[in-house]
Amino acid sequence: MKYYIELNRKVIFKNPRAWLYKVYLNQFKTYCNSQKNESGSPERRMRVNDQSTDMLEEYTKNEKQRIVFGMLEKLTEKEKTILLLYNNGLSYSEMAEILEINPHSIGTTIVRAIERLKDTLKNHYYEMFEQD
């Protein structure tokens, strides 16, 4: 909706997809913050009720999600954002435009964020993730 409002204002977008993701990202952050205040942590809301698994498998899956979400909170805002954008399939140039950084820094930033997340998980929860 914001895109069409801007179009009516005669705004010309150099990269509409990147602009839309930037708006989406800001809306998503606002939503997460409001949900966190209303109903607790995001990992609690993300629990999957898969009836095909037994209770132990469901608990393990939920516990892994909780741990990963907790470890993501230890990343910088830039690292969390770039991993979210990368996971959604944006190109390096789109991510650079959204984050307002040099496109040549994107790959390095992604690798560092992933490595930092993996190292933290391995150091604190090796036994839980060694099978994956």
Q: 20-44: per-residue pLDDT in tens?
A: 778 878 777 777 777 666 555 555 5
Residue 85 burial by Cβ neighbours in a 10 Å radius (0-12, 13-18, 19+)? buried
Q: Token match 């009720």: residue?
A: 49
pLDDT grade, residue 127 (50/70/90)? low
Give the CATH number, domain containing residue 80. 1.10.10.10
> How many domains does the chain fold into?
1
pLDDT at 122: 78
Residue 125 CB-density burial (10 A; 0-12 exposed, 13-18 middle, 19+ buried): middle
Dump the DSSP string for 59-87.
Answer: HHHHHHHHHHHHHHTTS-HHHHHHHHHHH
pLDDT of residue 45: 47
Pairwise CA distance, residues 116 & 63, whole Å: 20
8 A C-beta contact, residue 121 and residue 64: no
Domain span at 37 = 2-129
In the structure encoding, which two tokens stand for residue 101, read together?
A: 């950084």
Decide if 116 contacts 79 (C-beta within 8 A).
Answer: yes
The confidence band for 108, taking pLDDT boundaries of 50, 70 and 90, is very high
Task: Return the half-sphere exposure (C-beta side, CA atoms, 13 A cut-off) of residue 110.
Answer: 18
On whether the CB atoms of residues 119 and 101 are closer than 8 A, the answer is no
Least confident of 54-58, 67-71, 114-118, 121-125: 54-58
* 15 close to 91: Cβ distance less than 8 angstroms: no
